[in-house]
Amino acid sequence: MLSRRVTKIKPSPTLAIDAKAKAMKASGEDVINFGVGEPDFDTPEHIKEAAVRALKDGFTKYTAVGGIDPLKDAIIKKLEEDNGLAYKREEIIVSCGAKHSLYNIAQALYGPGDEVIIPAPYWVSYPDQVVMNDATPVIVETDESNSFMITPDHLVNNVSDKTKALILNYPSNPTGLAYDMKTLQKIAEIAVKHKFIIVSDEIYEKLTYDGIKHTSIASLGREIQSRTLVVNGLSKSHAMTGWRIGYTAGPAEIVKAMTKIQSQSTSNPNSIAQIAAREALTGPQEFLTHMIDQFDSRRKFLVNELNSIDGIHCTMPKGAFYVFPNTSLLYGKTYGGKQISSSSDLALYLLEEAKVALVPGDAFGNDNHVRISYATGLDDIKRGIGRIKAALSKRDSSEQ
Ligand code: PMP
Ligand code: GLU
């Protein structure tokens, strides 16, 4: 009965774990949710006020499919000031979240016979969005010792005459990696030489630590800009996950195709959220410093604590709000009578035994790790880590 397309994909694992943790909470269980990547901060007041004004002004009708001009202009200004990138209105499309931007890109670009290179660990939705369009994801594994960056050699080895695009995400979900300039330059040269598109998912751009500043690969020259789709949104930078605003900047021809697809699917993104997004981009940005400070101290605390657990090794992420500890030394061991053989086993054990929700690494294409989101308050992080330690101290004595 169902289409072939839907039988080839799985539901988003991150959203599935979040739903499970929330359901357990709703039924009275004291679950600590390290599952979903969603800032625990509230949307800043001035953004909410802009939305209330929009409602009161009756800004409640359909808008232009690809977003209102004042919001596109705010995005153009942001891209110019923050990223040194110049765009025109016809090179911008606003969609219902960055996930929707990526989905529109997939619909507009990928088809049977196309290959899309995705470095692993990857964000959960990339491969499925490729598969949904009958194209082939080419998963390229990266190495922890190289901070999970795809190397230029590795990239070249996976390019073929079918390569349509490379999906690049930094700061990365789930690893927190940030690319260095030299590697970015080499990747850009390869894309230009082999004529493929770069889908640059920059949603964690604002969340970097230790003085690292984000550089968009599109800013490395006119040629690479002309074959890059910059994807960004307000969910992470402005704590606006529920508002559903994301955007893409790129070649007018592709943006036009994406707008056509959007006109036949969702129509415009929510009118009130568009006004709020414009305020988010043009209004005060001070709260961001506070949010980054909080994330930074949680990051350091978590990495230290995780490294103090026997069998867990965790590198320090440079951006986003996830840690991605290597838990593979725990596999093959038995805890509380349960044999742990994979990241899924470990996640399930921790959910059942410790009431801590986290995402198994296999959802991101690397079973040796689990992902812990620190977009949750420090008190909960402390309680959660305490519970993880207690659960992992229940190792069967016969194995000690
Ligand atoms: N890209 C990455 C890497 C993400 O982690 C997320 C998570 N939400 C998104 C895109 C989509 O964000 P949204 O649809 O909320 O804008
Ligand atoms: N991107 C977030 C995450 O990885 C939100 C969940 C989702 O959109 O899949 O947890």
Is pLDDT above 90 for 11?
Answer: no
Average pLDDT of 359-385? Answer: 96
CA of residue 137 to ligand 2 center, whole Å: 20
Q: Which letter does DSSP use for residue 218 in this model?
A: G
Confidence of residue 19 (pLDDT cuts 50, 70, 90): confident
- Which pLDDT score, from 0 to 100, does residue 36 have? 86
- Which pLDDT score, from 0 to 100, does residue 395 have? 87
Taking the CA of 233 as reference, the closest ligand is 1
The reply to whether ligand 2 has any atom less than 6 angstroms from the CB of 99 is yes
Confidence of residue 16 (pLDDT cuts 50, 70, 90): confident
Q: Which CATH class is domain 4-42+287-392?
A: alpha beta
Atom number, ligand 1, closest to the C-alpha of residue 96: 14
Confidence of residue 309 (pLDDT cuts 50, 70, 90): very high
Beta carbons within 8 Å of 219's beta carbon, 6+ residues apart: 83, 84, 85, 225
Atom number, ligand 2, closest to the C-alpha of residue 125: 9
Confidence of residue 331 (pLDDT cuts 50, 70, 90): very high
Q: Which CATH class is domain 45-282?
A: alpha beta
Confidence of residue 399 (pLDDT cuts 50, 70, 90): low
CA of residue 37 to ligand 2 center, whole Å: 5
What are the domain boundaries of the chain?
4-42+287-392, 45-282
- Which pLDDT score, from 0 to 100, does residue 381 have? 97
Residues 219, 205: contact at Cβ < 8 Å?
no
Is pLDDT above 90 for 311?
Answer: yes
Taking the CA of 102 as reference, the closest ligand is 1
Average pLDDT of 105-125? Answer: 98
Pocket of ligand 1 (CB under 6 A): 37, 97-99, 123, 169, 173, 201, 203, 233, 235, 241, 246
Strands of the sheet with 370-373, listed across from one edge: 322-323, 370-373, 359-360
Average pLDDT of 157-171? Answer: 98
The closest residue, in CA terms, to atom 4 on ligand 2 is 37
The reply to whether ligand 2 has any atom less than 6 angstroms from the CB of 173 is yes
Is pLDDT above 60 for 400?
Answer: no
Count H helices, E strands: the chain? 14, 14
Residues 343, 327: contact at Cβ < 8 Å?
yes
Average pLDDT of 37-60? Answer: 97
Supply the mean pLDDT for the chain: 96
